[in-house]
Amino acid sequence: MWHDLCSILGVSRVWVILIGLLCLVQPVSARKHRPVVPDSLQRLEMSVHGIPFAMQRVEGGSFMMGATQDQYDKDIYTDKPAHLVFLSPYYMATTEVTVELWHAVMPEKEIISPKYHPTLPISFVSWHDCQEFVRRLDSITGLPFRLPSEAEWEYAARGGAQSKHYRFSGGNELDSVGWTYSCSGNWKHPVGRKRPNELGLYDMTGNVAEWCQDIYGAYQLSTAPNPCGADTGSYWIARGSSYDECAANSHLSVRRWYVPETTAGYIGLRVALTLPGDPMMQVVQDEEPPLTRSIRIKGKKLRFVYVPAEQPYYISEEVENALWKKIMQKDAPNRSGSVALGMNKTDRTRFAEYCSRVAGEALFVASAEQIVLAEQQHIIEPFQPGVSHKRKQQTARDIQRRRKAADKLSPWTELVGVRLPKPDDPILLQFKKADDDSRPLRLVMQVPHH
């Protein structure tokens, strides 16, 4: 065999072996090289005029920001909707800026503090004061310090890629991880005395709230990578609970906002840093899939949102009756507002197949499991039926009451030869219908491989 192959190619056996080895090696070398961050860059030890502080590396990644299920049960609108966020790597200070570090950087700045102690977190500083602090720290160290974005703050407080999904930063037992109302004596304490979180960051729950770089804005279902808040506004974000907060107000998705001139004993700061030329920056940017996609069908745009999962996918918004009618040439059997309802499984499949041909990629009817997963992560909101659907539910209850009344009276009426009519059981009728007939139609598409 070897002799025949060499005769055909007109080369020696050595060259055939070398060519074969190159074919095996080439795919390996063509794989994307992911830089390895050395241990020396995982934690940066620094000092200013002899006052030490440390910066902990937070590897980039994605997380669900806002009102996730591991946080709390309350329906607080400012934390919703939970949404997917991609972040590049950055560094976060392991502790809040202390009084002694503040005075080392800004010695002339008078701080009103009735209980001065060098290792207390600084407070009574405005957002503008914090901007001046990071500018001076930048000039002293030669590094681009800044306030963290709101997304960076929450990702770090949750433990970054090492998150164990605690309700508070570092654990579910509040008193072990933060100085709050139940254990603080209604005052702040020296930094770093409680248990740190998964990244080694202290006091991200309790002690003092911390100014962020962002202007306050309502959450959107999707964001660009490395979001930095609203473009305009009158209020700036501060994150984290403080020494006078109860447990209900200390979970990690709580948002607070103040005018930038605000100074208070319960607001301080923590600094962040992005190293210029970080080798992981480009890797994260290349690997992130877009958070939203959209296709245009019959002149109407259908938007899809990314759902992180073991096999991630995009799920569409609820299909409206107007789009259904354009494609299927008929109205949906039922409607709740503009949302199409009541279509049978066959028609739903035909609709998805038509959309696939128009979009040029595979689209499928969303399964119940895919819809529930997206709802659990607060990526989509659970379906809220319109008034007409509520009236149907009320009618179903009326039918059930009439059935019960007929059951009670039937033994007596049958004695005189009268049979009372009994309406169909609405519960049994529901079981006879396919489950997907009663849900709004959503489509899903696969996430393209990167």
230 versus 413: the higher-pLDDT residue is 230
64: helix, strand or coil: strand
pLDDT band at 113; cut points 50, 70, 90: low
Cα four-point dihedral sign 146, 272, 113, 242 = positive
**Mean pLDDT across 141-169:** 95
Asked if residue 149 has pLDDT above 60, the reply is yes
pTM: 0.64
pLDDT band at 9; cut points 50, 70, 90: very low
pLDDT tens, residue by residue, 375-433: 877 788 887 665 444 444 445 566 667 777 777 777 777 777 777 776 655 444 443 34
**Mean pLDDT across 237-252:** 93
Q: Could you tell me the two tokens for 32?
A: 């994307």
341 phi and psi, to 5 degrees?
A: -140, 160
Burial of 417 (0-12, 13-18, 19+ CB in 10 A): exposed
Asked if residue 346 has pLDDT above 60, the reply is yes
pLDDT tens, residue by residue, 22-37: 343 333 333 344 566 7
pLDDT band at 182; cut points 50, 70, 90: very high
> What CA–CA distance (Å, rounded) separates 133 from 131?
5
pLDDT of the residue at 429: 43
CB within 8 Å of 410: residues ≥ 6 apart: 419, 420
CATH topology of domain 41-283: paralog of FGE (formylglycine-generating enzyme) (3.90.1580)
pLDDT tens, residue by residue, 59-95: 988 888 888 878 776 656 688 888 888 899 999 999 9
> What CA–CA distance (Å, rounded) separates 403 from 55?
70
314 CB neighbour count, 10 Å cutoff: 24
pLDDT band at 348; cut points 50, 70, 90: very high
Spans of all domains in the chain? 1-31, 41-283, 289-450
303 versus 430: the higher-pLDDT residue is 303
Percent of the chain with pLDDT over 90: 46
Angle at 196 between CA 53 and CA 37, to 5 degrees: 65
**11 to 7, 20, 25, 26: CA distances (angstroms):** 7, 13, 21, 21
Residue 91's DSSP bridge partners are 57, 273
Angle at 378 between CA 373 and CA 384, to 5 degrees: 95
> What CA–CA distance (Å, rounded) separates 41 from 91?
10
Q: Please state, rounded to an integer, the average pLDDT across all residues of the chain.
A: 81
Asked if residue 290 has pLDDT above 50, the reply is yes
Asked if residue 435 has pLDDT above 60, the reply is no
| The one-letter amino acid at 406 | A
Beta strands in 271-405 (DSSP E): 272-273, 292-297, 300-307, 313-316, 334-336, 339-341, 364-365
> What CA–CA distance (Å, rounded) separates 431 from 438?
11
CB 387 within 8 A of CB 393: no
